[in-house]
Amino acid sequence: MASMTNEPTSGNDRLADRVERSLERCLEWSTLGRHRRVLAEVERLLPLVVERESIEAQLLIWKATALLAMGLADRALQAAQRSWELEASPYACHLIAAASSALGEDEHAEETLRMGWSVFPEAGHLPVQLAMILTDQGRLPEALNLLDSIPTLDLPDELEVFLFGLKANLLASVGRPADAEQLLREAVRRHPDAQLLRDATKSLLEARRRTAAEAALVASWRAALEPMTGGEAEVDLAIIRVAAVLEIPELLQLAARRLWRAFAAAEVVRPQALEPWAIAVILAVVELDGLEPSAAAASRSLDVSPSTVGAALRRIRRWLDGLSPELAARSFAAATNPRLEDRSIAPRRAAKRNTVIRFPSPGSPGGHP
């Protein structure tokens, strides 16, 4: 009788050991990006653990992780939801939200994370993930308030570093670069070996310097604009109107107005259709910045003829082709203007505006299952 009693336990132990060894291999394969191997191993094991809910839930987490990494968010969502039903866990919650977000269902992702955080208040990665979703939606103050509410005492070092970085990013984005700088200094003091934080500090200083350079260039160009008369002045006003409709930055608008003055002074122009010329000048500046704008799309947004815009743009291109690339870029480029790299402008002169520091998304906020 004793042997009969011990035999099922021995069989369960062997199964548990087998799953554990398989998960160790899954961890190695996942690290190497061999997600199909992970998926195949999990699918092989799942039929063996149908009556072991805890083990099945763990395997389904690995399945969802692999499917999500392979871009199969719909199947990943099903696996993660089933794992949650079998045994609720913070990482299942994370995967449900990640898959939902990948499918464009941010509202469901947000609801899931809020629910998961209420069930597992110690799972700091869930509110961080929620803050990232809010940030992607442009809800920056809400995301910042959420991060302020997360206690950092018991967070893993890696997650705390990411939390510091994300919060600094948001502070800079809402026009509080000095606060972002102070936070990063504190973060570097607590985590001196975190390259992410050192890179973020450098990125913030560079962003503030560039903002200052852009503000200085805008002020210089605005002060130097010569008045125009007649039809040329009407095109200049049309550039301002078109820039407002297209919601382009002031630097780009001023670059277009500078380009229009230079072009009109060098070429005989008798503009009858104002908006097409205005659009063409703006598109020429965008091209100088190395982009390929769509004349048709811009024309449709202002209900003008794309062919008229195209004809005007071709004339401006021919004129620009006669200039040296360096002169054209320094005189009329906006985002890529060499003057924006002026190192003599100190960050303290920066105007208040959004500044974004890019931080990578944490691959596995809760660690491996």
The pLDDT score that the predictor gives to residue 351 is 40
- Report pLDDT digits (tens) over 331-340: 999 999 998 8
Number of domains within the chain: 3
Domain membership flag for residue 7 = yes
Query: Domain check: are 113 and 31 in the same one?
Result: yes
Token pair, residue 90, equals 């913070």
Average confidence (pLDDT) over 232-250: 93
Same-domain pairing of 333 and 272 = yes
- Based on the domain organization, do 298 and 336 belong to the same domain? yes
| Cβ-proximal residues to 359 (8 Å cutoff; 6+ apart), any chain | 162, 165, 166, 169, 196, 200
Residue 357 lies in a domain: no
CA distance 343 to 311: 39
Q: Are residues 1 and 63 in the same domain?
A: yes
Between the alpha carbon of residue 222 and those of residues 225, 289, 322, 344, the distances in Å are 6, 20, 26, 20
Torsion angle, CA of 142/148/152/157, rounded to 10 degrees?
Answer: 60
What CATH number is given to the structural domain containing 115? 1.25.40.10
pLDDT band for position 315 (cuts 50, 70, 90):
very high
Tell me the residue range of the domain where 106 lies.
1-123
Q: Is the pLDDT of residue 259 over 50?
A: yes
Is 359 part of any domain? no
Query: Among 35-49, 108-122, 288-302, which range has the highest average pLDDT?
Result: 108-122
Amino acid sitting at position 310? G
Among 176, 207, 223, residue at a domain's last position? 223
Q: Give the domain CATH number at 311.
A: 1.10.472.10
Tell me which H or E stretch contains 220: helix 195-224
With cut-offs at 50, 70 and 90, classify the pLDDT of residue 354. very low
Measured between alpha carbons, how far is 320 from 137 in angstroms, rounded to an integer? 39
Of 65, 88, 123, at which residue does a domain stop? Answer: 123
CATH number, domain of 192, equals 1.25.40
